[in-house]
Amino acid sequence: MTADDLIDLIRVYNPRTDAKLIQSAFVYGAQAHAGQVRSSGEPYFTHPVEVAALLAEQRLDDASIITALLHDTIEDTGSTFSALEQRFGHEIALLVDGVTKLTNLQLSSVETQQAENFRKLLMAMSKDLRVILVKLSDRLHNMRTIRYLKPEKQQRKARETMDIYAPLAGRMGMQWMREELEDISFKVLNPDARQSIIRRFITLKKDTGDLIPQITEDIRAVLDERGVSAQVIGREKKPYSIWRKMEEKGEAFGRLSDIYGFRIITQDLSDSYVALGAVHQRWAAVPGRFKDYISQPKSNGYRSIHTTVSGRSAKRVEIQIRTREMHEVAETGVAAHWSYREGVRFENPFVVDPVRWLSNLTERFETAENPDDFLEAVKLEMFTDQVFCFTPKGEVIKLPRGATPIDFAYAIHTRIGDSCVGAKVDGQRVPLWTRLRNGQSVVIIRAEGQRPQASWEDMVVTGRAKAAIRRSLREEHRAGHIRLGREIARVALERVGKRATDKALETAAKQLFLDGPDTLLAQLGAAELTGQDLVHTLYPELLSPERMKTVDPARDQLIVGLGAGQTAKPAPCCQPIPGERIVGIAVKGQGVQVHAIDCVTLAALEDQAESWIDLAWTDAAAQAPHLACIEVTIANGAGILGRICTLIGEQHANISDIVFTERKPDFYRMVIDLEVRDAKHLHNVQTALHADSDVAEVTRFRGMEAGVISAGFGG
């Protein structure tokens, strides 16, 4: 297809199209993708052109079609957002960028769960729904040419399409696209089953003849008798649709009632109901198979009357009746919002505002707190028919088929669902597990203090109700776990002579990277953590024997990397200890000074590379005492300083000196010289101090002139 061919296709429905801009985008895309080829061996740019043609067939606006032509330029060529914005404008650059980000979501990744994929898709759609329209057309063309991919990649793409893109197209009202995506995926995933369905159709035609033109003529004749001017379209259902119904109903092909589908497209609404009466007068309607989506439209704008009748040769056929405008929305769904006719945006009265549609869609999923709940809500929204029930005030509540009064209550408000104790349906008291039917009036009976029951989860079918029930049960269980966890914490810490103060619990939660003390207590109560874990987090030295030993520097080497005759001393500016990376600086007449690798002093010595020595601690170093200083701020109260010193001693650290740097009526600030084994030992001391409710702050203190370390460094 050339640029002129594409422009001619667009001019059929939009004579005012910006042909120059589309021509420019065509040339830009062709040049950007020059030299690239597809798996089929065709030039790569044939793909964006075909995607653009698909959007033109849907009568979409210029911005969507230009986006299709450019949708892979940022991803696969040297083009940038800025370049596209400068040449084609901000709107188109944003759309191309949105499609690029959607492509990069890696929805088929094994590591990524389906629920997260749907969440990402909704986020990508939230800015401009045209992004997903381009992506769906992109996926459709890729599926039409999937045979050129390797078998394993075909399987992955087909599964991703079946799980994500096909149901999304259906949810947007693009039923024709959903059916084609499903059928191509079905051909890849289960070719034998699909071929079996096709063979049965061939056999059926041999036995009965082609029934579609015969039934079409029967319907036309009935409509002519009633003076209804309408278009009648007949078709066989897609193989995947038939196979799915066979699987769901457990029936053989010959017993399926609706392998044929017919549409009656009328000029106006009154003719639609006249046509319905004519069809029901001529053929017997199948009970339970009538749905009026004109009086109660679907949330994506779909309107149609559905009925199933026993037609020619007693074959059951499904008939859909709707007006021309309703049919256009039924074919293109939410995408009809951007469709053009005679060069202007076509204002179809049945098109749903995409912003409102997306808002309604996401609102149902906001209550899902975890990915599994979210996925369940998505699938329920995408795969179920709806029933319509009424509140006492006459408001319509839309629910999936099989919904119960509990679903109804949660659909109104979470508070009403949580406090539900009973229900009346059409004035009669019914059990909460009763399945609701179309047109019923429901009254919810409430009681203060009522909480959702665990058994409710098996009664409801909506994702919103399930999520609310699970959340309430989790909160109830969590409160019990927190109470139990507090007692476990108290007993565990009292065994080592400590108290389970709020400060101690807050410190432990921070060390364990938990949200806060309540999460810590909930995990203790749920047996996800033990009391021993809590003690070990706060006071690990109380559970392990003292390991600091007196090391003979003459015999035990603490540092490796020194030259013959060199001796090492810790630099007073940073006081390095085992567990920290170190470097030596040779100082004339003073031996080697050992610095921590992050010591600020080293920055001034970068140009003296000849004096730097690569050093490392030996295993024996962690058994010797090393000087480290900490700055501690404590409350000014009787006995507090003594308790702090005792706490340090319990951690097997020795205090060699204390210097008060600030004394106030309500607090003291001091620097404490400690002898510790290594960085981990120092961290344990600081954690234990942090847990004390009278300690406001504990930090590592560097830069103070330290006293002589009794053990020194080995030479």
Phi first, then psi: give them for residue 584, nearest 5 degrees.
Answer: -105, 145
Residue 125: exposure state from Cβ atoms within 10 A (0-12, 13-18, ≥19): buried
The strand pairing partners of 617, in sequence order, are 559
Quick check: helix, strand or coil at residue 490?
Answer: helix
The strand pairing partners of 309, in sequence order, are 285, 317
Q: d(Cα 425, Cα 541) in Å, to the nearest integer?
A: 66
Q: d(Cα 321, Cα 354) in Å, to the nearest integer?
A: 25
Q: Please provide the DSSP assignment of 246-294 as one string.
A: HHHHT--GGG-S-SEEEEEEESSHHHHHHHHHHHHHHSPBPTT--EETT
Distances (CA, A) of 331 to 212, 263, 300, 352: 21, 12, 12, 13
Q: Determine the Cα angle at 421 with ends 419 and 422, to 5°.
A: 130
Q: Cβ distance 36 to 43 under 8 Å?
A: yes
User: Of the listed 8, 42, 57, 75, which one is catalytic?
Assistant: 75
Tokens of 455: 């058994």
Q: d(Cα 30, Cα 36) in Å, to the nearest integer?
A: 10
Provide the 8-state DSSP code for 304: -
Phi first, then psi: give them for residue 149, nearest 5 degrees.
Answer: -85, 165
The strand pairing partners of 387, in sequence order, are 399
For the chain, state the CA radius of gyration: 37
Cα-to-chain-centroid distance, residue 527: 29
Q: Which residues contact 32 (CB under 8 A, 6 or more apart)?
A: 70, 73, 77, 78, 79
Q: d(Cα 522, Cα 509) in Å, to the nearest integer?
A: 11
How, if at all, do strands 568-570 and 591-596 pair? Answer: parallel
Provide the 8-state DSSP code for 312: G
Provide the 8-state DSSP code for 703: S
Q: Which helix (H) or strand (E) holds 186?
A: helix 175-189
Distances (CA, A) of 327 to 355, 356, 445, 554, 640: 22, 21, 41, 94, 81
Q: d(Cα 610, Cα 547) in Å, to the nearest integer?
A: 38
Q: d(Cα 608, Cα 622) in Å, to the nearest integer?
A: 30
Q: Which residues contact 302 (CB under 8 A, 6 or more apart)?
A: 173, 293, 329, 330, 333
Provide the 8-state DSSP code for 698: E
Q: Cβ distance 302 to 330 under 8 Å?
A: yes
Asked if 76 is an active-site residue, the reply is yes
Q: d(Cα 421, Cα 406) in Å, to the nearest integer?
A: 9
User: Of the listed 18, 76, 91, 457, which one is catalytic?
Assistant: 76
How, if at all, do strands 420-425 and 428-430 pair? Answer: antiparallel
Q: Cβ distance 405 to 442 under 8 Å?
A: yes
Asked if 666 is an active-site residue, the reply is no
Q: Cβ distance 687 to 639 under 8 Å?
A: no
> In 3D, which of 509, 492, 391 has the Cα closest to residue 441?
391
Tokens of 346: 């076509």
Give me the sheet containing 428-430, strands edge to edge: 428-430, 420-425, 442-446
Question: Which residues are known to be catalytic?
Answer: 75-76
